Structures are given as structure tokens and as C-alpha cells.
A and B are shown apart, each in its own frame.
Chain A
Amino acid sequence: MVSLAEPRVSDGSDDEIRARLARADSALAEEIRKSETLARVTQAVASSGDVDACVQAVIDGARDIIGADYGAFFYNVVAEDGESYTLYRLSGAPPEAFSNFPMPRKTEVFAPTFDGVGVVRSDDITKDPRYGRNAPRRGMPEGHLPVRSYLAIPVTSPRGAVLGGLFFGHAEPGRFTARDEALLVGLGAQVAVTIESIRVNAAALSELDQRRRAEERLKFALDSGRMGSWDLDVATRAYEASDLCKANYGRRADESFTFADLIATIHPEDRPRIMGAIESAIRDGADYDVEYRVILPTGELRWLHARGRAAQTADDGGARRLAGVSLDITERKRAEDRQKLLVNELNHRVKNSLATVQSIAAQTLRSITSPEFFREAFESRLIALSHTHDLLTRESWEGASLREVVDGELRAMAAEDRVTFDYASDLRLNPKAAVALGMGIHELATNAVKYGAWSVPGGEVIVAWRQDGDLLRLSWTERGGPPVNNPTRRGFGARLLERGLAAELSGGVELTYDPTGLVCHMALPRRALEP
């Protein structure tokens, strides 16, 4: 405390008294100014949101209070990589005044401050026994601000860690009093508490921020993967589901969705398996990885894939939570089913084709008189079948047009120039009808090349069709060929056309061995032909 001289009226002259009073007034005014400044600084420090602003307020205010030329605060920060740096704030001097100097080292003058040992106050630091004892500079470096009066206060955290130091200087000696020292020690303690609380706060905020970001990233990942997340409290069976998780079960975000609701939504056939998986994940810590059907409140059936893991072991060694994600896999399941169906269908078709080939081989062998003709007849029938398959494959086995089927077979015989078509409109055929008619046309064309209209120059074939109510009437008429005789025995072609094709397409097929040329009439119900 500064002791104010008690004015004694009875002692001395009036001038003396007036002088004393003036000094007392001035001292009081100075003390009031310091108090006000201190109050202002204290408030600024307490309300500081960041270390730099706090420090700047302190050194500016403190310099003002003690009338220092310069003030500085050197403080340590630990960066994220664990490295420690010393930063500083200045008051009363431009940053350039220090920017050319290295950071202060722990010289004998600085050590008590940086080690948090105690205050160093000197009326003239250059005369202090500790001054100038350290190599290489032995005192202030060239160009340093002129400092004689010196006051340095360590700033240590309540837990004893040194946060930094407050340094003040004046170009003239004897400027800093014990009273100044006391004020600044108090201020230093306040700075320490503020810095500490700002750091703790910042760390908490940063952790909070990191968590929030991590949560945002997770939510983004879950949302973009259409993944719902869920969390089951093992003891209470309290179940928390994200909005997407609820959506997977056909619930709106604002609807409640309990563990009982979840179990009830699972398809009854899958329920025992899923409850077993949940129990075993909780009991044994087994991975929870299940696919199951759910029946939504709308009645819609969906497939879900859920994965999870028991977490946070309880004191008794059991699991406390089971948490994980769920994903709507209905589309994938449907695609799998479609694929299974397609593979089955393909297998069926292949097996049927093999049976067809088996039949062609057996029939060809039966109706061929000499074995040397077998190969040619068998191969040409196989290729006829293959042509129709090509046509159908081009249209994903959905059908083919009648004209295309006929063209395909005639092209194989190089007979497309010797045929006249007569029809009003083309007709779509289902795959079965396409294959059957393809084989029939092949037999007719083969016969025409061997014995009929195409066996001699000038002969021709007219292929005509028209729609007659529910029937398709198709005719194959040969002209200009050699005279035709009724055959003594029916070959494979005749049997296929008159019996096989007729039965398969639920219609009638009639072969007429007209002397002017073979005629084949077909009357086929359109329902057996159209896709």
C-alpha cells in the first residue's frame, strides 16, 4: 500500500500545507486512475474469449498502471503436433521491435520468470548482478529497446504450470514500485486463471466440434448409403432409431418406434431367427449380421440387412448396448430372385432344346434310308432350329415376326429369290410358335429343294397368309416344279407338320400333293401364336 501523508494543519507554513495537499491530491488522483484502470483491465481479462485478446488487455492496462514504456507477454503454446512454441504480445512498441530477435532464452535474468520462481523487479536491470552473465550477448542485444527499470512476473496456472511471463520496462531507472509489483502480481494471477479457463474451454469446444463433425460425416455416410442407424439398450430394451432406420420399417421420423414395434414388424417366419441372433450377439458378443423380411404398416414387404455389434461392456461383464445399421435390400433381393428365375428358365430352355435335338436326331435316323444322308439332314435341321433361336435371342426371347422366321429359313436355302409373299400384315409370334413354324418351314423348304419347285429352274413358291377371325390361315404353294406324286410313306417333315405342328399349335395342317405342286395349308388359332 502506498501511504498517504496525513495532513497536519498545525505544522509548517500555509505554502507547505498547500504543497502537501497538492501532492496528496495528485497521489490520490493517480491511485484512483490506477484503480480504475485495474478495474477496467480486470473486467477485460475476465470477459476475454481468447488468449491473445486477454493478454493484450493485460499488458496495455498494466503498462498504463505502472507507467512502463514497454510491456510484453511471452507465453508458451503446445501445437497439435506436440511442439511447444513461444509467442508474444507487445504494448508500447511495434512488433518489429522484437521480430528481429530470437525468443528470450532462459538467461539468469529471465530464468526466475520462465521457471515460475518469482518476481524480478529492478530499478536498473543493467546493474543487476544477474545481468549480462550469459553468452553470447551478455546483456541486451544491439538495437534492443532501451530498458533500465525492469519488472517481470511469472504467470502460472492454478496447478503450477508456467503459462508465460509478463515483462515491463522503462528507459529510465527507478520507475517501478513495490506497489506496482503487488498490483501486477494480482493481475498476473488473474491472467493465469483466464488463460487456463480459455484453454480448457477451447479444448472442450474443439472436442465438441470434432464430435459434431464426426457425427455429421457418419450421418452423411449413412444417409448416402440409405443406411439407418439404431441402438438398443440391453437392460431396458430402450431402442433408438434414426429417421432412415424408421423409414426402413415404414415409420415416419416423428412416429415412435420401440423395440417391441421392431420385433412385431419382422416377418413371423424370420422373427425367431432374428431374436436368436440378437440374443447371441448380446450374450456372446457375436457379430449381428442378418437379413430378414419386414411387413410395413401398409402391408408392403421389404427385405432389410442389419449389422451391429454389442458395445460397452457392463460391470458384470455383459453387454450394455447393441448398436448398428440397417439397410433396405429389397431391390437386391428382387434382383437375386429375378436372376434365380432367369437361371432356372435358361436351364429349362437348354434342357428342352436338348430334348428337341434328341428328337431331331432320333427322327432323322428313323426316316433316312441311307446313313450317309443322316449327317446332312441332321445338321440342316439343327441349323434351322438355331436360326430361329438367333431371331428370338435378338428380341430377348419375347417373340419374333412371322416374316422374319420364314425369311430366316429361306435364306439358309438360298431360296429367298424364288418365293413370292402374299399377306396384308405381318404377325408377332411367341417363342414356341416361332420355333415350331421355323422347323415346319424348314421341312417344306428342304423338300422343295430336293423334290419340289426349287429342284428345277423356274419353279417357285408362294407363301401367303391372312387372318380369318381367330385363325391364321397360312399356305405354302409350289408351282413350276416336277409333277408331284402322293408319297408312299410319310417322312419326318410330313409327320412334323401334320401331327406335331398341328398338335403343338392346336390347329390343323394339311399337305396336298397336287400334281402341279405341293400345297400346305395351315389353320392355326392366333392365341397359340401370338405372344
Chain B
Amino acid sequence: MKTLSSLKVLVVEDEALVSMLVEDMLTDLGCTVVGPAAEIEEALRLAGAEDIDAALLDVNLGGRPIFPVADALRARGVPYAFASGYGEAGISEDHRGSAVLQKPFREADLRRVLEGLVAQTA
């Protein structure tokens, strides 16, 4: 099993309670949280500037789709997964095939998805 320890994970999530939960899960898994960002602009800034190993992206940020952030990460070769209440259905055509975490999810689900992301880049 690959270690997630010290993995830097960008969290983009616009609901305070959910982002707190994700932060706790990631901390428990030994990851370092980058963010969390609740707005597209902040997320884009972090995606471009910070040293990031992986990202977990809420699909809908206050009514705005997250996909520009996903595109920026893809351009940098940073693997990412979506977290969404819509499940797969909420993912735009050209991002189909990306990992999707259906909310609500367990810490084990998050771990599995992150391990998958790390394996992509290894």
C-alpha cells in the first residue's frame, strides 16, 4: 500500500462543515491540507502557486462549476478527484473518467481514491 503520508492535497470545498470533515480525514491519513478554498479564484490561485501532489475538488462552488480548476491542475500534471453530491452525473463531458467521490463518503473511500491518484503519477 502506498503511503499517503506528507502528501500535499489541495481541498476545494465551499461548505464549511464538509471542508472541516475533509480536512480532518486528510489529517488523519497523514496528508497536509492545502486550502481549503471555497471560491474558484482562490482555488485557481492555489492550483497555480502551491506545491501540490493531488487535489480533491467539489464540483459545484456556490453555483459555479469547478472545471476551470481541474483544467489548470491537468495542465500542471497534478492528479485530482471530484467530490460531488451529483455523483458521476455532475461531471462535464471532457472530465468523465476522472475519479469521483459521491458525497457523503468515508475516510476509507477518500484513502482509496487518493491512492489511485498517487499511483497515476508514480
The chain A residues found within 8 Å of chain B, CB to CB, are 344, 347-352, 354-360, 362-363, 366, 432, 435-436, 439, 495-496, 499-501, 503-506, 528
List residues of B whose CB falls within 8 A of some A CB: 14-21, 24, 36-39, 42, 60, 62, 84-87, 89-90, 102-105
5 A-B Cβ contacts within 8 A?
A: A348-B84, A354-B103, A355-B103, A436-B16, A504-B15
Report B-chain residues with C-beta under 8 Å of the C-beta of A358: 21, 104
Q: A344-B89, A351-B85, A355-B85 are in contact. Are A504 and B103 (CB under 8 A)?
A: no
A506 to B14, CA, bound (A): 9
Known: A351-B85, A352-B85, A363-B24. 4 other contacts (CB 8 A): A348-B60, A351-B102, A351-B104, A528-B62
Asked whether A349 lies within 8 Å of B85 as measured between CB atoms, the reply is: yes
Given contacts A344-B86, A349-B85, A350-B85, contact A362 B103 (CB under 8 A): no
- Name the distance in Å between B101's Cβ and chain A's nearest Cβ: 10
Known contacts A355-B103, A362-B24, A506-B39; is A439 also within 8 Å of B19 by CB? Answer: no
**Complex: how many Å from CA A499 to CA B33?**
13
Q: Is the interface of B mostly helix, strand, loop or mixed?
A: mixed
Task: Please name all residues of chain A whose beta carbon is closer than 8 Å to the beta carbon of B36 when the two chains form the complex.
Answer: 503
* A363 pairs with B20, CB closer than 8 A: yes
Bound Cα distance A13, B79 (Å): 149
A155 CA / B42 CA spacing, docked (Å): 106
Query: Is the CB–CB distance between B15 and A432 below 8 Å?
Result: yes
* Structural contact, A359 and B103, CB atoms closer than 8 A: no
From B16, B21, B90, A504 is in contact (CB under 8 Å) with: B16
- Partner of A355 from B38, B42, B87, B104 at Cβ < 8 Å: B104
Given the known interface contacts A356-B18, A359-B20, the answer about A506 and B38 at a Cβ–Cβ threshold of 8 Å is: yes
Closest CB in chain A relative to B13 CB, distance in Å = 9
Q: Answer whether A348 and B19 are a contact pair too, CB < 8 Å, given A355-B103, A504-B38.
A: no
**CA of A344 to CA of B89, assembled, Å:** 9
Q: Would you call A348 and B90 a contact (CB within 8 A)?
A: yes
The minimal Cβ–Cβ distance linking A345 to chain B, given in whole angstroms, is 9
Q: How far is the CB of B106 from chain A (nearest CB, A)?
A: 9
In the complex, what residue of chain B is closest to A357 when comparing beta carbons? Answer: B104
Which residue of A has the minimal Cβ distance to B105?
Answer: A355
Pick from A350, A366, A500, A505: contact of B17, CB under 8 Å: A500
Point out the residues of chain A lying under 8 angstroms from B19, CB to CB: 500, 503-504
Chain B residue numbers with a CB within 8 Å of A495 are 20
Q: Which residues of chain B are near A360, meaning CB under 8 Å?
A: 17
B15 touches A352 (CB 8 A): yes
Query: How far in angstroms is the closest Cβ of chain B from A258?
Result: 37
Chain B residues with Cβ under 8 A from A350's Cβ?
Answer: 85
Q: Are A354 and B104 in contact (CB under 8 A)?
A: yes
Also in contact, A500 and B20, with CB within 8 A (given A348-B90, A351-B103, A355-B104)? yes
* Residue in chain B with minimal CB distance to A349: B85
B91 → A minimal CB distance (Å) = 13
Q: A406 to chain B: closest CB distance in Å?
A: 18
- A500–B24 alpha-carbon span in the complex (Å): 12
CA distance A439 to B20 in the complex (A): 14
**Which single residue of chain A is at the shortest CB-CB distance from B103?**
A355
What is the CB-to-nearest-CB distance from A207 to chain B, in angstroms, rounded to a whole number? 59
Q: A354-B104, A503-B36, A503-B38 are in contact. Are A347 and B85 (CB under 8 A)?
A: yes
Measured CA separation A350–B103 after assembly (Å): 9
Closest A residue, CB atoms, query B25: A362
User: A499 near B20 (CB under 8 angstroms)?
Assistant: yes
**6 tightest A-B CB contacts, nearest first:** A500-B16, A351-B85, A359-B21, A348-B85, A504-B16, A355-B104
